[in-house]
Structure 1
Amino acid sequence: MTLSMYQASVPVFLRALNNLQHVLRRGEAHAEARKYDASLLLQGRLTVDMLPLTRQVQIATDMAKNGCARLAGVDPLKFEDNEASFAELHARIERAVDYIKSFQPEQIDGSETRAVTIKTRNGEQHFEGQGYLLHFVIPNLFFHCTAAYAILREAGADLGKADFIGKA
């Protein structure tokens, strides 16, 4: 049996975002247990030239929701990138999850050769759907989820591999 584009994208995106939601909750609980302002974690980063936690979550959600939309051949839903609290980050993830769940297999399946053009800070990048999914969206999604995990872990949150991977 072959793996469809929908199977290779939507379930992967949903699991990554649900696990990211869990990791954020653990980070927030850590701040509460230590009795410090949880918003301090939102600007946390591992090094000075790294994007902060808030931006890592924003990019992760953008990768997943925009990936679905582009594979389906529709304009992605835009988010404002103005989250300033854990509650707002949780709401963003929930909106992204709801949006991703709205896509049906028939919208994404068959998108292996669909032309996808994205604008990045380095200019336009052109892909075919399968390459876009496997070589751009999935690596970027996991990079930013991993960065968010690492920021919170370094800050002392009680996190381990099982929190990142989630339940099978």
Structure 2
Amino acid sequence: MTISMYQASVPVFVRMLTNCGGILRKAEAHAVRAGFNPATLLEARLAPDMFPLHRQVQIAADGARGAASRLAGLALPDPEAEDFAVFNRGIQHRFLDTASSFAELATRLDAAISCIEALRPEQIDGSEARGIDVTMGGRTRRFAGLPFLLHYALPNLHFHIAMAYAILRHAGVALGKQDFEGPAVYASLP
């Protein structure tokens, strides 16, 4: 059995962003039940030098959208377009402040998912050796598609969603491993 670049990227990006949306819904409901302003969770962080919840989610959404678009070979609006960045804005803290509520984060996640779901297998399959450029602050790093996906995009996506999960668990939101992983999509062999 072989796996294609499309199968290794698009379903994973969509699944993880969808799971992140579910985590955020539980967090907002937790705040409402506990009687505090849900917006306080958006600024929660694990350590003073780490990004808060809303940045972790924003980076995950924009990074997955940007990674999928680059794998598909799409012409980007600008190599450094904020909503097509690929996990690389954190160093310089360049972010648009558009996520001041859970609803705005949900909208951002939904937009990223829609963009990714619109990609077709023929756009991504065969991108293993395609040149992928990641530009930050005028400096461009060039990757081949397969190492970009396996060693840069997917680890970064999982990191930022795991940080969002950890921030919320630390804040007392009742989350479990299933919330991070989502429903089982695998079949057992006989």
Which range, TM-score by smaller chain?
over 0.9
Q: Where does the alignment leave 5 or more consecutive residues of structure 2 unmatched?
A: 84-95, 185-190
Matched with 2:89 is: none
Secondary structure of the structure 2 residue equivalent to 1:158: coil
Matched with 1:138 is: 154
Give me the whole-angstrom Cα distance separating, in 2, the residues matched to 1:75 and 1:54: 28
Report deviation, 1:81.
Answer: 4.8
Matches within 5 A, 1:47-66: 47-66=47-66
Matched with 2:33 is: 33
Matches within 5 A, 1:79-158: 79=83, 80-120=96-136, 123-158=139-174
Give me the whole-angstrom Cα distance separating, in 2, the residues matched to 1:155 and 1:49: 17
Give me the whole-angstrom Cα distance separating, in 1, the residues matched to 2:76 and 2:19: 22
Give me the whole-angstrom Cα distance separating, in 2, the residues matched to 1:154 and 1:121: 33
Q: Where does the alignment leave 5 or more consecutive residues of structure 1 unmatched?
A: none
Q: Higher mean Cα deviation, 114-123 or 37-46?
A: 114-123
Cα deviation digits, residues 26-57 of structure 1 (max 9, x gap): 11111001110100000110000000101000
Secondary structure of the structure 1 residue equivalent to 2:47: coil
Give me the whole-angstrom Cα distance separating, in 1, the residues matched to 2:167 and 2:41: 8
Report deviation, 1:13.
Answer: 0.5
| Sequence identity (%) | 50
TM-score, normalisation: structure 1: 0.95
Aligned-partner residue type, residue 124 of structure 1: T
Secondary structure of the structure 1 residue equivalent to 2:134: strand
Report deviation, 1:139.
Answer: 0.2
Q: How many residues align?
A: 168
Give me the whole-angstrom Cα distance separating, in 2, the residues matched to 1:149 and 1:133: 22
Report deviation, 1:119.
Answer: 1.9
Asked if 2 retains the 8 angstrom alpha-carbon contact of 1:58 and 1:81, the reply is no
Secondary structure of the structure 2 residue equivalent to 1:37: coil
Secondary structure of the structure 2 residue equivalent to 1:126: strand
Report deviation, 1:120.
Answer: 3.5
Decide which of 140, 158, 162 is 2:178's aligned counterpart: 162
Aligned-partner residue type, residue 170 of structure 2: E
Report deviation, 1:123.
Answer: 3.8
Hey, which of these two has a bigger chunk of helix by percent?
1
TM-score, normalisation: structure 2: 0.85
| RMSD, matched Cα | 1.5
